Structure 1
């Protein structure tokens, strides 16, 4: 979790801090259980999939309402209610749409982004849309042109009063976007920046001035800039393809936020040592100035400006866990109070009212699914109003530790290791669980339902942040380029060897499980190295990289490299078919569990169908299942339960754990 909101400057006073700290510590610590050292009883599957009534709450600017995501039956809603009551109202959007994000526009309107699949020239492609919902009149308005491209939710700026927004929109899938002022109540579009050749990205500052455009051409990437609406855009930098592009600091095109009214702001750059740090930055000269924050091993992953957009407020990074670094002294003090009040937890300020008198706070840990609080600093009140899952006692869950092991080529690979409670850490059955992505993604120390479920059933679980994973610097990232199915897969195998050498895991009792790219890695693991893995389970896994990359090249782009073909393929003559499970189904000799959602907009169901067809053609058996009306994850509790039950039965049959 990461904070993206500003915090009020009116928090302070030694007396208030003392009283608040004492109040928070007493109220929270009194109810916090002590972790168990004995083997717990088997937790029912139902308990793992039970969930609270709301997630991801954000408070309105006036502090009177909270909006949140809610699952009711088989449908997902953006819902809202007053802070002080439980009178819930729900926003329904059309069937076939997956919710992306939502935010307040003033005190009375919600902006909701959703995605559906559409077929263009025989290819399923995701199309995003934007809805404005008035919580007073209960009227929904679709915001968009009559004819537009695939991206319909590229919001650059929202008027604090909620009357209008700025949005970049293309009139077709073949044209570059212009920027429009959109009157939220009437869906009236006024073009304020016309489309320009090859400019696909526009950036506005915190006052609503479109200040920068990025053009991607065949020969060079061009950066255009202006100070105000009255000026024309001027070319301020050109990065030529090839050598110039390879040697250019990534920050030259990685400006995500522009300080209002100034030509100097902030940027993340990896120019010094390959790890992203936070620097001052001139938009006009494109020169990087003073370094403000770095980390000896990990990237700085983001930063936020204050509400006015006039200065920096915080930055984020991930080492063993996600962290926030506050530049605002009041926020720094507030974070210390929350950390002391919630020991062993990550405490994140997620949203706040405009006056800073009310905030939503989220806390979590590897043994705690998470809690939501309303925090009122001046009233010395921290009120827990919802939890992600209150059906599991954190005291009986397993501790997750951040470790490192050495891969066969000498690379130090970070990972998370979870051992079952109350069992001797020797010769344990093992689950290797690679993350999705694979690029620009990593595992963290957050609570993981599957990890805790498997640990409760007696398995050790290793989550390697294999080469190519995010936040470990450019060198670590680029060691993964072109290594899908190759060195990235070696890192997973080497985790098994390390755990066996340490005496923790039994190398003859290993199964590999994953989702998305992790599902691919699971399938490829048992095809490539059946001697290492007894079985594999995949949810929403990629099975054919050639067709997947045609479907969604955007998912393979990153700030480190923009040529997605090079990232995935690596060597120009490398054939992705050689590492695609569907193209190598005939080599399968181990049991696999293959599952997918039929409404997946990220890895389409066609990937599942190709693998099933290839297995049938090769005369290979596999357990398979399709979840109806599910996307790139399981939202319906009944399906979450079914997945865990299938997984448990599959493992009991092919890689059973030791009985208690």
Structure 2
């Protein structure tokens, strides 16, 4: 057996898909496991013919690939992982009879530099089927690709084949292969080029566009092949963090129609580019005056045409420009008025579909719909037992930072509590990310426990336009941190937060912000919790030396070493007055565990009150259930001691 498959247990047990435990959850404070157990069902997908479903199902520490027949109701497990050696990155239908599954590993090539890697397999959708690798092992002189799951197009040129981009011959530069989903046999379609990182094809499968990234200059570029032409042209080129950046979203049914995300009046918008014209004119399809429009296109499977986009403003949702699908979405929203309703998957004739319905008090419910029968059937809850009985809505707030910039944030208030209360400030990671009014486990846990929760979208957060985003470039710990401080002060002024009972907590960049908050504003918070947080900015930037993103990291985090040192919590430990909790996984690929080890040593040298918990084999994303359990229990105990309710 291929060594990548060791640890995978093929299973044929038949279990009901809808069997989920329904706990009595109407008590005021829920057990911790309700939050750290994770989603019970993930990545539910409908087969092209609309007759079967596949999903990832989590049962305690294990994740299983589950196949469900919608006609007979039978369910079988096709594969299992304990999430230690690898986890399932994704699973999807290759056609009506076969599935593709991406496995995510940690450093399987043994190069010395810790990496995350993917491997791609197919499996026939039937009981007892075996995994078939889609990429053979590298031969002498060939490059062993780090990422092997870049599926460029499914079901091409027929149901038994798909297109796969992989850097087999030149690291970082894909060739395009046609792969037989049943056997893994490959045929070269497009050879790599030194100025191409990856290839894109139109809806007919013709190689029509390419992207490239120059790791030395940090410039990106897009080349296109216009219909009826034989010569490739460079359409766009831009430096990192430029307002001229382009994201290719996909092609229309007509090969001349290329959909992109690009700047429009300071915000990202959707355009359709006419590749048949020499000047590549753009037609504005969708824009928003306040928020960026970015995400993945929604296609009508029957028409093979983009009809909308998954869009995230103050609440993530589907946004359509096609009239048929506008009416389709409006009908769903009328039936399900209290949730944001995603049409997440369509059968090949657009008649059978999956809906994912969610909001802050509904972590997510999958429903199966039939447009001809006008039916909508409940399938499964992602977090059974978490609902409006025990979760709270998030209130969007706006406030002015000290320099006058308007900042948005979200406040969760515990049920039945009024007046100033104990608050946890919860800045997001990234920092190029954002919080919304949707469900997330940490804010839900804290609010259920009894804390007010504040989630600020400080400058550098995504979704608010280019100028807002790029104020984070080379500015870690400066005005970004002031935005968090000013938001906390605003909630004190509004008599929402008790000024004597505030803790700051975060993960990754949020963990850095939690440590910096304790050091820079030592009288504002009563405790600080950092999971996988950065303590030394210069060391974190330099940790990318062995990666292709090193020059980008230097531009993003800054080249001024003195400034990086000034804004590193490691160099401010003597100012910290409050108890600190540090948690870090030893197998973190994003923020090395060294960051928390250094901080713990410095806290010890300065005789500060702190707890350091190192999670053996833990990752940056807490992929393994026992690691989530350990983390939640540590946070809970720390808050009980230093921010009691």
Q: Which of the five TM-score ranges fits, normalised by the shorter chain? A: 0.7 to 0.9
Of 601-610 and 340-349, the range deviating more from structure 2: 601-610
2:272–2:285 contact (8 Å) kept in structure 1:
yes
Match status 1:141 vs 2:132: yes
Q: Which residue of structure 2 lines up, in the alignment, with residue 103 of structure 1?
A: 92
So what's the TM-score if we normalise by structure 2? 0.86
In structure 2, the CA distance between the partners of 1:55 and 1:121, relative to structure 1 (3 Å rule), is closer
Match status 1:202 vs 2:212: no
1:545–1:580 contact (8 Å) kept in structure 2:
yes
Residue deviations 1:296-327 (CA, integer Å, cap 9, x gap)? 10011133343378532102332221122222
Of 490-499 and 521-530, the range deviating more from structure 2: 521-530
2:257–2:272 contact (8 Å) kept in structure 1:
yes
Distance across 1 between alignment mates of 2:338 and 2:461 = 25
In structure 2, the CA distance between the partners of 1:612 and 1:182, relative to structure 1 (3 Å rule), is farther
CA positional deviation for 1:524: 2.1
Distance across 1 between alignment mates of 2:411 and 2:644 = 19
CA positional deviation for 1:461: 0.7
Of 482-491 and 115-124, the range deviating more from structure 2: 115-124
2:300–2:350 contact (8 Å) kept in structure 1:
no
Of 514-523 and 540-549, the range deviating more from structure 2: 540-549
Of 124-133 and 90-99, the range deviating more from structure 2: 90-99
Q: Which residue of structure 2 lines up, in the alignment, with residue 436 of structure 1?
A: 429
CA positional deviation for 1:341: 1.6
Q: Which residue of structure 2 lines up, in the alignment, with residue 178 of structure 1?
A: 175
Of 359-368 and 609-618, the range deviating more from structure 2: 609-618
CA positional deviation for 1:493: 0.6
CA positional deviation for 1:407: 0.7
Match status 1:422 vs 2:416: yes
1:149–1:170 contact (8 Å) kept in structure 2:
yes
Residue deviations 1:256-278 (CA, integer Å, cap 9, x gap)? 312344223222211x3110112
Matches within 5 A, 1:553-564: 563-564=552-553
In structure 2, the CA distance between the partners of 1:556 and 1:308, relative to structure 1 (3 Å rule), is farther
Q: Which residue of structure 1 lines up, in the alignment, with residue 118 of structure 2?
A: 128
Q: Secondary structure at the match of 2:485?
A: helix
Distance across 2 between alignment mates of 1:246 and 1:352 = 35
1:377 pairs, out of 371, 377, 383, with: 371
Q: Secondary structure at the match of 1:438?
A: coil
2:397 pairs, out of 379, 400, 403, with: 403
Of 277-286 and 496-505, the range deviating more from structure 2: 277-286
Match status 1:274 vs 2:272: no
Q: Secondary structure at the match of 1:278?
A: strand
Distance across 2 between alignment mates of 1:90 and 1:606 = 39
Distance across 2 between alignment mates of 1:378 and 1:432 = 48
Residue deviations 1:131-189 (CA, integer Å, cap 9, x gap)? 22222361212222414232222221111654222222113674522222222222223
CA positional deviation for 1:411: 0.7
Distance across 2 between alignment mates of 1:553 and 1:370 = 40
Match status 1:334 vs 2:323: no
Match status 1:151 vs 2:147: yes
Match status 1:290 vs 2:283: yes
Q: Secondary structure at the match of 1:255?
A: strand
In structure 2, the CA distance between the partners of 1:52 and 1:577, relative to structure 1 (3 Å rule), is closer
2:302–2:348 contact (8 Å) kept in structure 1:
no
Q: Which residue of structure 2 lines up, in the alignment, with residue 364 of structure 1?
A: 358
Residue deviations 1:556-582 (CA, integer Å, cap 9, x gap)? 98xxx994422221x655543433344
Distance across 1 between alignment mates of 2:640 and 2:255 = 62
In structure 2, the CA distance between the partners of 1:69 and 1:618, relative to structure 1 (3 Å rule), is farther
Match status 1:82 vs 2:69: yes
Q: Which residue of structure 2 lines up, in the alignment, with residue 226 of structure 1?
A: 225
1:148–1:173 contact (8 Å) kept in structure 2:
no
Q: Relative to total residues, which structure has the larger helix share, 1 or 2? A: 1
Corresponding pairs, count: 606
Distance across 1 between alignment mates of 2:42 and 2:540 = 31
CA positional deviation for 1:60: 1.0
Of 473-482 and 319-328, the range deviating more from structure 2: 319-328
Q: Which residue of structure 2 lines up, in the alignment, with residue 520 of structure 1?
A: 512
1:63 pairs, out of 50, 62, 72, with: 50
Matches within 5 A, 1:389-538: 389-424=383-418, 426-439=419-432, 441-538=433-530
Distance across 1 between alignment mates of 2:529 and 2:574 = 18
CA positional deviation for 1:413: 0.4
Matches within 5 A, 1:152-167: 152-159=148-155, 162-167=159-164
Distance across 1 between alignment mates of 2:580 and 2:41 = 35
In structure 2, the CA distance between the partners of 1:297 and 1:222, relative to structure 1 (3 Å rule), is closer
Distance across 2 between alignment mates of 1:249 and 1:616 = 47
1:345 pairs, out of 334, 339, 350, with: 339
In structure 2, the CA distance between the partners of 1:567 and 1:545, relative to structure 1 (3 Å rule), is same
2:298 pairs, out of 282, 301, 304, with: 304
2:526–2:578 contact (8 Å) kept in structure 1:
yes
Q: Secondary structure at the match of 2:85?
A: coil
Q: Which residue of structure 2 lines up, in the alignment, with residue 541 of structure 1?
A: 533
Which runs of no fewer than 5 residues in structure 2 stay unpaired?
1-25
